[in-house]
Chains A and B, each alone.
Chain A
Amino acid sequence: MEAAKRWRVSAGETEAWMDRAVNMAKDALENGEVPVGCLMVYNNEIVGKGRNEVNQTKNATRHAEMVAIDQVLDWCQQHKKQPVEVFTHTVLYVTVEPCIMCAAALRMMKIPLVVYGCQNERFGGCGSVLNISSATLTDTGEPFQCITGYRSEEAVEMLKTFYRQENPNAPKSKVRKKEFSK
């Protein structure tokens, strides 16, 4: 927790990064993906960014945060830095509260601070469904701090738009499935 307390970000900074995260989410929406976008910022530099790419990869775990973590790992390799050193000094800006899976991943990567827009009522891992972010678990990474509420209305609006148009890739109902599988 001590590490988390050191990570304060100014409101101006937050606005600017969240603006970019929102744009990533818009990109996801335009590509038929769940509209979540995120940035990972280390020393005032974007070292990873991601948007949901579940449909593109046919892998349901390709959430924006997981994509961004992979990019940071690549960045570390290119810049010959230890991932632990970079991740423990990186702030994540994401439009929606990380889900339980991503919250667990962020703990394991030891990210100290997450700034997010709206709550994730369905899967949220930072309080909405489970509180993975602040749980005291000795053997699974470190807890992280959350700051929430930035650009949350836009984030919710994008999610609503997405779910209104219905996910064309979501599993069809059982009745429909039977019709197809001769």
Chain B
Amino acid sequence: MEPDSKRRKTTEPDGTCAWEVRPVLSEQESREVRLMPVYAAPVLDKKETCRLMKEVSAVYPLSDYPHLKRIRACLSASSPHPLEMILCLAGLNGEQAGLRTLAELFPNGEVDLSGLGKPFLVHVPACTPLTRPQYEEAASHWPVSFHENKRISQALKGCLFSPLEKERMQGYMELAIQAAQRGARQGMVPVGATVVDPATGRVLAVGHDCREGSNPLLHAAMVCVDLVAHSHGGGAYSFQDYPACTFLPADNTSQPPPPLEDGLPYICTGYDMYLTREPCTMCAMALVHSRIQRVFYGAPSSHGALGTTHHIHSRKDLNHRYEVFQGILEDQCQRLARLSDHKESS
């Protein structure tokens, strides 16, 4: 139970962590590259490229697909022609895209077709790549433009957080795990949560799932949102029967109290939540309402709404978005999650 023994278990002798922080990206960022068919044709006479580009683009602008480069160079030595050019979309209306002749694709004679070879079908990326993995996948089909988001790339490479930050994150997750274990000893589903103000490093609340008590909606995240409300002089529930659910009273600090206009009642503004398990839809949306800044969870959950069934944290049509990372102390959290799945189904 002691944090010391736990640290030995999860930290390698050289001080590196035995777990990784992985970003949970939005639906658009994490989806597979979708392909669509287009007609392309080889450019047989390289000198005609510039003119062909201009004339073909005037007839088929492809303005909804600005990421697609019109021309690709065929680097392969075995390739009979050096360049290939996208002519137009194929089968947009859902009809079976068959082969077409140049005359069929440009029936009105707007394009001087000299220098173009026989059209062929090729599948190209349908959407702008948002992440480097998506870009690499997309570019393997056809050249695309890509504006790299450095922060996302760093996050995906696992170098967004320093070893010191990771050590702190481990400490916060250990508090959540301990709360989960203490809750479990009172018959609760073993899920725990910690709320931290990253600006000061202070732990504002630690709680565990209380759904087996009088209220089936008191999931760990809901408990912690209310504990934070208590720490700001509000709150709706009493947690006196659950000694592992604690909060930092506002008057007990050396820090000046947050200014009144600073987000009340959206009191989780700027805060981080550590959860042993991916939260459900209700909890994920509660964190949108509470304006949480970041959520770190240990293990995914089959009905989780931060990456598994929904991406509640990254929807453009909701009025708040937050960052989500998973994998902190994943092994330990996974063990707790297996216990809780068992408990919920029993």
Partner of B280, one of A104, A123, A172: A104
User: Is there contact, CB below 8 Å, between A104 and B216?
Assistant: no
What is the 8 Å Cβ interface bit string for chain B, positions 278-298, against chain A (1 contact, 0 not)? 001110011011110000000
Which of B69-77, B96-104, B265-273 contacts its partner?
B265-273
What is the 8 Å Cβ interface bit string for chain A, positions 123-144, against chain B (1 contact, 0 not)? 1010001101000010110000
User: Is there contact, CB below 8 Å, between B282 and A181?
Assistant: no
What is the 8 Å Cβ interface bit string for chain B, positions 197-227, against chain A (1 contact, 0 not)? 0000000000000000011110000100110
Instruction: Judge whether B309 is part of the interface by a CB distance below 8 angstroms.
Output: yes
CA distance A58 to B290 in the complex (A): 10
Residues in chain A near residue B269, CB distance under 8 A: 171
- Determine how close the nearest CB of chain B comes to the CB of A68; give it in whole angstroms: 12
CA distance A57 to B229 in the complex (A): 7
- Determine how close the nearest CB of chain A comes to the CB of B170; give it in whole angstroms: 28
CA distance A130 to B214 in the complex (A): 29
Residues in chain B near residue A122, CB distance under 8 A: 318-319
- Determine how close the nearest CB of chain A comes to the CB of B234; give it in whole angstroms: 3
Residues in chain A near residue B302, CB distance under 8 A: 139
Residue of B nearest to A177 (CB): B262
CA distance A66 to B215 in the complex (A): 11
User: Is there contact, CB below 8 Å, between A59 and B229?
Assistant: yes
Instruction: Judge whether B303 is part of the interface by a CB distance below 8 angstroms.
Output: yes
Instruction: Judge whether A86 is part of the interface by a CB distance below 8 angstroms.
Output: no
User: Is there contact, CB below 8 Å, between A100 and B235?
Assistant: no
Residue of A nearest to B215 (CB): A73
Instruction: Judge whether B261 is part of the interface by a CB distance below 8 angstroms.
Output: yes
User: Is there contact, CB below 8 Å, between A58 and B229?
Assistant: yes
Q: How large is the interface on A (under 10, 10 to 19, 20 to 34, 35 or more residues)?
A: 35 or more
User: Is there contact, CB below 8 Å, between A57 and B234?
Assistant: yes
Residue of A nearest to B310 (CB): A130
CA distance A181 to B290 in the complex (A): 21
Instruction: Judge whether A109 is part of the interface by a CB distance below 8 angstroms.
Output: yes
CA distance A69 to B217 in the complex (A): 9
User: Is there contact, CB below 8 Å, between A60 and B315?
Assistant: no
Residues in chain B near residue A99, CB distance under 8 A: 285, 289
User: Is there contact, CB below 8 Å, between A70 and B215?
Assistant: yes
Instruction: Judge whether B107 is part of the interface by a CB distance below 8 angstroms.
Output: no
Residues in chain B near residue A180, CB distance under 8 A: 259, 261-262
Instruction: Judge whether A175 is part of the interface by a CB distance below 8 angstroms.
Output: no
Residues in chain B near residue A59, CB distance under 8 A: 225-226, 229, 234-236, 265, 267, 290
Partner of B266, one of A69, A73, A104, A170: A170
Interface centre among A60, A99, A137, A169 (most CB of B within 10 A): A60
Residues in chain A near residue B290, CB distance under 8 A: 59-61
Residues in chain A near residue B236, CB distance under 8 A: 53, 57, 59, 62, 70
Instruction: Judge whether A77 is part of the interface by a CB distance below 8 angstroms.
Output: yes
- Determine how close the nearest CB of chain B comes to the CB of A87; give it in whole angstroms: 9
Residues in chain B near residue A58, CB distance under 8 A: 229, 232-235, 264-265, 267
User: Is there contact, CB below 8 Å, between A60 and B263?
Assistant: no
User: Is there contact, CB below 8 Å, between A171 and B235?
Assistant: no
| Contact surface of A with B, Cβ cutoff 8 Å | 53-62, 66, 69-70, 73, 77, 83, 99-102, 104-105, 108-109, 122-123, 125, 129-130, 132, 137, 139-140, 169-172, 176-177, 180-181
Pick the 7 closest A-B CB pairs, nearest first: A58-B234, A101-B285, A104-B282, A59-B229, A104-B281, A60-B289, A100-B285
Q: List 13 A-B contacts (CB under 8 A).
A: A58-B234, A58-B264, A59-B229, A60-B290, A70-B236, A99-B289, A101-B286, A102-B282, A108-B282, A122-B318, A129-B315, A172-B262, A180-B261
Question: With A57-B234, A77-B214 given, can you name 16 additional A-B contacts, CB distance below 8 Å?
Answer: A53-B236, A57-B235, A58-B265, A59-B267, A60-B268, A60-B286, A61-B222, A62-B236, A100-B285, A100-B288, A100-B312, A123-B285, A123-B319, A129-B315, A137-B309, A170-B266
